[in-house]
Structure 1
């Protein structure tokens, strides 16, 4: 019975992972080059967040979402996730 509990307990953690419909980084142009530049898209997302007053840095994509670190006002960085299209914070 305890083995069942061990296998069942990780499932809720998997459901808490943010998932977004970010840029399709797996698409390629006819010449074989990537259709989307992940680094460029992350830099663009960081600029868009900063334009909204969010002090974003070290921005990258994770599960299609924007993952960035934001200064919490006390000198510490807090990891936050945002939707790529709407820039809505995901919680």
Structure 2
């Protein structure tokens, strides 16, 4: 998991199940994340040197037509490909035939 906070980016590994996040485990416990264990401070943090967030959400095209009746979601933006799924599916069939 990558967590962006003001001044720091945290990299964390959890051991859980498909339905629960589970327990936090050290980065060095896994072959895939062991190289990163030497790069972090305090077990999971990489300081950014600034007191601002290093990631943010920028909505694409608004409003989201799928969520027109759901106020918290209507302004989150929509995909460039919303509404052309059938065309993309047809193109995939032609390309893979």
Give the TM-score of the pair, scaled to structure 1.
Answer: 0.21
Give the TM-score of the pair, scaled to structure 2.
Answer: 0.20
